[in-house]
Structure 1
Amino acid sequence: MTAVTLEQIQGEHDRIGALIEKFKTQSIPTEYRVDAATIPLAAGERLAGPIFKEDGSLDYYLIKLPGEGTDLEWDAAQEYAASRGALLPTLRELALMRTNLRDAFVSEAYRSGEQYEGNSAYAWYQYFLYGYQGNGHKSAALRAVAVRRFVPSVI
């Protein structure tokens, strides 16, 4: 039998400590509960799906209003959505709609309500044919859809 040294014990202790820390930070299986919600939709509206907060909890449901504006500069697109009591979608919302409501869009670029951070003369858009998102000059004539956000009550 070989003798055990303090250095060997300390080395094993450090190794076990590192394993414990790794175990604490690894993903742990969880359950996700989906609460029943009644989402009122007006004629022609389409439910795009849920938007989640960073912690994984439900933030709101995204609803696409019927119709779309065409050949709209960014300011005009904002006015188009506002005239319908709605907003232009964010980039994240456009990506969700491309995934869940692709049949409701033509294969062109749609405006986002988000300005490009690097230059206030530019705004973001979602191109529906290939799925990429980019930014372009606000004066470019693009399509626009209006969306609303439904937050279920907590009563």
Structure 2
Amino acid sequence: MTQHLRPGEVYAGLLLGENGAPDAHLFLLPGDVSGVTWDAAKAWAVKAGGELPTRREQRILFANAKLCFQAAWYWSGEQHADGSDFAWGQNFGNGDQYYDHKSYAGHARAVRRLAI
């Protein structure tokens, strides 16, 4: 997998598809941002060359790349299904996932995927 790593990236793991077969490789991009709303975090991630991770990807990042994060709350790219004013995130201190108002000032990291 090292041949697919770009400078500063961390290989975070393998994503499985619906049938359990390998679907994509997950890479954590270098850099982070703090004190940003959900919309600002999404824009920052695109500018960094990726996107915000899904909730599922955040669980993989917590398991495989926790040391790359501060013990803080990070935005996911997923909006809450019951309220368009809320989005999900993950606390990389304790592993909890919960949602907050999109105006909350949180942290963000970007990821990219390599389809298999």
TM-score by length of 1: 0.72
| 1:63-142 matches, cutoff 5 A | 63-142=27-106
Give the drift of 1:73.
0.1
- Bigger share in helix: 1
Segments of 5+ residues of structure 1 without an aligned counterpart are 1-36
- Cα deviations by residue, 1:64-109 (Å, 9 ceiling, x for unpaired): 0011011110000010011122110000000100000011001000
Q: How many Å separate the matches in 1 of 2:34 and 2:81?
A: 25
Q: CA deviation at 1:42?
A: 1.1
- TM-score normalised over the length of structure 2: 0.96
Q: Which has the higher contact order (CA 8 A, sep 6+)?
A: 2
- Alignment correspondent of 1:10: none
Distance of 1:96 and 1:66 partners within structure 2: 17
The two structures, once aligned, show a CA RMSD in angstroms of 1.1
Paired residues in the alignment total: 116
Q: Residue deviations 1:37-63, cap 9 Å, x none?
A: 665111110000000012110110000
